[in-house]
Chains A and B, each alone.
Chain A
Amino acid sequence: SQKIEQNSEALNIQEGKTATLTCNYTNYSPAYLQWYRQDPGRGPVFLLLIRENEKEKRKERLKVTFDTTLKQSLFHITASQPADSATYLCALAGNKLTFGGGTRVLVKP
């Protein structure tokens, strides 16, 4: 069966450093991969989308890579700020959108 894994342990990081999150998947060949941010008790908010033929995508301080051979996406937040503290979800897009469990990021001042 399809499986999407994100590190369930929270990532604690110092302000100004780069946070790197991992999304691994199995038994799946998504055409697109998306990343969302979710704050406690609120709906996910779209951040970035990367296509299977793209290796890397950037948006301001965010960078996403997509390796279809490794079946992995990495999500980077550079120059992290306390306001970046949230849970980040990856979602695989084929005939539907399937979410990973999310990784909580806590940026300390």
Chain B
Amino acid sequence: EAQVTQNPRYLITVTGKKLTVTCSQNMNHEYMSWYRQDPGLGLRQIYYSMNVEVTDKGDVPEGYKVSRKEKRNFPLILESPSPNQTSLYFCASSPGTGVIWNTEAFFGQGTRLTVV
């Protein structure tokens, strides 16, 4: 089954403790992206990657890091989480190159992160 898999689904952590949220897709997509979703603010892009070893900042990259060493994986790293990073996070992938979004995006099931 074609899917984007995120782990974990739920995570509660303390301020400053490094964490990684994994994302994997089995559709051989080139484009992958991370979003956060907050009430009243909608989905906002954090980082995106057009291909292996190519990553770029989205609209809200501060406090996050990503890497794209393999085509299928795109982990999101919070080096020193803070309470304002409490949010619902989604990973997405697309067969498009990302230059023009003429194809659908496939989203993971989400990771609900709470930083206390």
Contacts and interface: CB of A to CB of B under 8 A. Distances in A.
Contacts of A97: 33, 45, 94, 101, 105
Contact of A42 (B45, B106, B109): B109
B77 to A, nearest CB: 20
A41 interface: yes
Interface in B45-90: 45, 48, 58, 88, 90
A22 B42 CA distance: 16
Contacts of B40: 8, 101
Interface in B87-106: 88, 90, 92, 94, 98-106
Given A42-B109, A43-B107, A44-B90, A94 B43 contact: no
Interface string A69-109: 00000000000000000000101011111111110000000
A86 to B, nearest CB: 14
Contacts of B41: 101
A93 B104 CA distance: 10
Contacts of A45: 107
A10 interface: no
Interface residues of B, number: 28
A89 B101 contact: no
Nearest to B41: A101
A6 to B, nearest CB: 9
B60 to A, nearest CB: 12
Nearest to B96: A93
Residue from B41, B42, B48, B88 having most chain A Cβ neighbours under 10 A: B42
> Which 8 pairs across A and B sit closest by C-beta, in order of nearness?
A93-B101, A43-B107, A46-B104, A101-B42, A99-B43, A97-B101, A44-B107, A43-B90
